[in-house]
Amino acid sequence: DVKVTQSSRYLVKRTGEKVFLECVQDMDHENMFWYRQDPGLGLRLIYFSYDVKMKEKGDIPEGYSVSREKKERFSLILESASTNQTSMYLCASSAARQGSNQPQHFGDGTRLSIL
């Protein structure tokens, strides 16, 4: 079974802090993704990566950055946390295979509160 592990289930930080959310997958997947999920808005894509050191902006990248130094690990960084970044953050990974229906596998999520 695919295992996507997010380092924290719950996290509380203060406005202006630098926040790191970590995600590790154990299936040697090429692709990794960060989403946030908010009531009434659904899941929205922040950033994704298709290879080590490669990153692409998603639909809502403002206020975030990412790091992919190793294939299995994808980090989401809030450079200066703000209250509107309080949300559930979900990491996902998928295998790269052209023309194939590779689903994304999600971690359990990190519920981040910015005070």
Q: Which is nearer to other proteins, 85 or 110 (CB)?
A: 110
| List 1, 53, 62, 97, residue binding other proteins (CB under 8 A) | 97
- Contacts with other proteins in 14-53 (CB under 8 A)? 30-31, 33, 35, 40-45, 48, 50
> What is the distance between the alpha carbons of residues 26 and 57, in angstroms, rounded to a whole number?
24
Q: Which of 38, 36, 40 is nearest to 66 (CA)?
A: 36
Q: 10 Å Cβ neighbour count for 65?
A: 13
Look-up of token digits 């809502």:
60
Amino acid letter, residue 75? S
Q: Which is nearer to other proteins, 84 or 101 (CB)?
A: 101
Binding site for other proteins (CB under 8 A): 4, 30-31, 33, 35, 40-45, 48, 50, 56, 58-59, 90, 94-98, 100-109
